[in-house]
Amino acid sequence: MGGNNFGGKKAAPFVKGGGRDPDHDNDAKGMPKKRKSAKTVSMSVAVAEARKRNMIDLALTTQQRNALPSSAFVYPQKRKYPVPTKAQASAAGISEGQRLRIARNALSRVAQKKTMGSASKVGAAVKKRAGIK
């Protein structure tokens, strides 16, 4: 095969100095670039905004966290891994959806490397207080 033919596809044109030709309509693999319509772009923005709002709802505010009693945490001495019961959450101003999300978040965080705590202890607390397995 020819010198600038890679795997049966034409090589993308490059300009001197290693950069890509900005006027070229193909991506790095030589395939035509996909153009997003205005509808797709606005939908992507809407999805990103919804995800951002959901992440904000997930986090406890400092006031909510401070309003929780020590017994609402898996490790009460260090106040780590909040997993409140329904009564504790409502007293602290935490919605039911947010309470379940922070319980799932506790499971996720304890499963990560280099985090404090035992996955079995946090899992047992989440199962007992939130009913999530």
> Is there a domain that residue 1 lies in?
no
Task: Give every CB contact of residue 106 below 8 A, 6+ residues apart in sequence.
Answer: 74, 81, 82, 83, 122, 125, 126
Q: How many CB atoms lie under 10 A from the CB of residue 110?
A: 21
> Is there a domain that residue 4 lies in?
no
Domains: count for the chain = 1
| Paired strand residues for 80 | 75
Residue 60 CA from chain centroid, whole number: 16
Of the pLDDT bands very low, low, confident and very high (cuts 50, 70, 90), residue 52 is: low
- Residue range 16-37: average pLDDT? 60
> Is there a domain that residue 120 lies in?
yes
> Is there a domain that residue 32 lies in?
no
Residue 118 lies in domain: 38-130
> Is there a domain that residue 14 lies in?
no
pTM above 0.85, yes or no: no
